[in-house]
Amino acid sequence: MEYQKLSKKARGCMLVNECILAFVCTVIIGVIWHFLQDAQIPFNINFIWILAVAIWVLSLAAPFYRYERYRYRFSEEDIDVREGFLFLHRDIVPIERLHKVALESGPVDRIFGLSKVIVTTAGGDVTIRFLEEEAARKIVDRLKVRINQYAVDRRENEGEAGNYQA
């Protein structure tokens, strides 16, 4: 199965999320600037605004890179997710080892009609973000069927399979 890209709506959602974060950072920088204006420090306090500009530049650029790099694949056996801006992350999760599948959506996600699928294994969880609501629901339903199928198969094979030999 080929890797799939996110829908265009995801880019907008990423952009809004990044802008909110950049806004919060700008407010914090503004507060620091206000309180340190009269303090004696070795450099001009106005330079702190360069940091704010850098944050905004990165925040505006990141969604485009992240969107281009974001790939996911739900095959019969596993889930493979690649994402990132500066650091590229990849997760490979076998469906056989899933314990729980959850569907979640935050306020910004809902504005764009997006959801995230959180898959939980015995060793932690992995989140697949920015999926279209309908697609996410289909994925969850498919995963549920697969998990149940694995549970039934495992129960049937329990008698046959011995302990693994390392």
Partner 1 sequence: MKEKQEIIRLRNHISYIFEQAWHWIVLFACVLFSSEDSLKLGMELIQKGNIIQGLLAMGGALFVMLLVCAWYLNRWYRTTITIQDGTITSAKVTLNTRINTMSISNISNINLEQNIFEMLVGTYKLKIDTNSLSTADTTDLEILLKKKEAEEVKQLLLAMLKEQEDGEPDGEKIEEAPTDTGEFDIMQGECDIVYSNKDILKNALITMSIIEFAGALGMVVLAAGTAAVAFREEKEILAILGTLLLQFVLASSLIADFIRKFLQDFHFRAKRHGDKIYVYCGLFKKKSYVVPVDKINAVTLKYTFIGRICKRAYVKVINIGGQGEEADGMKLLLTDTYGELGRKLNILLPEFELPQIERMIKPPKRLLGIYRVYAVFSAAVAFVACECTVALTGEGGIGGMTVLAGLLAGAAVGALYLYICYMKYRASGIMYTDKTFILSRGIFTKNIQTIPYARIQFIHTKQGPLMRRLGLLEGNVSILASALSQTQYMGIFDRGDFKRLEEKFRETY
Positions that interact with partner 1 (CB under 8 A): 41-42, 77-78, 84, 86-97, 99-100, 120-124, 126, 158-159, 163-166
Query: Which residue's CB is nearer to partner 1, number 8 or number 41?
Result: 41
How many angstroms separate the CA atoms of 118 and 124, rounded?
10
Q: How far is the CB of 157 from partner 1 (least distance, A)?
A: 11
Query: Which residue's CB is nearer to partner 1, number 42 or number 107?
Result: 42
Query: Which residue's CB is nearer to partner 1, number 8 or number 76?
Result: 76
Q: How far is the CB of 18 from partner 1 (least distance, A)?
A: 19
Q: How far is the CB of 70 from partner 1 (least distance, A)?
A: 15
For residue 4, what is the DSSP state? B
In the three-class reduction of DSSP (H, G, I as helix; E, B as strand; rest coil), residue 5 is classed as: coil
How many angstroms separate the CA atoms of 108 and 127, rounded?
16
Pick from 84, 62, 65: which is nearest to 129 by CA? 84
For the record, the structure tokens of 165 come out as: 């030999």
For the record, the structure tokens of 85 come out as: 């801006």
Query: Which residue's CB is nearer to partner 1, number 41 or number 107?
Result: 41
CB-based contacts of 49: which residues, under 8 Å, 6+ apart? 29, 33
Q: How far is the CB of 88 from partner 1 (least distance, A)?
A: 5
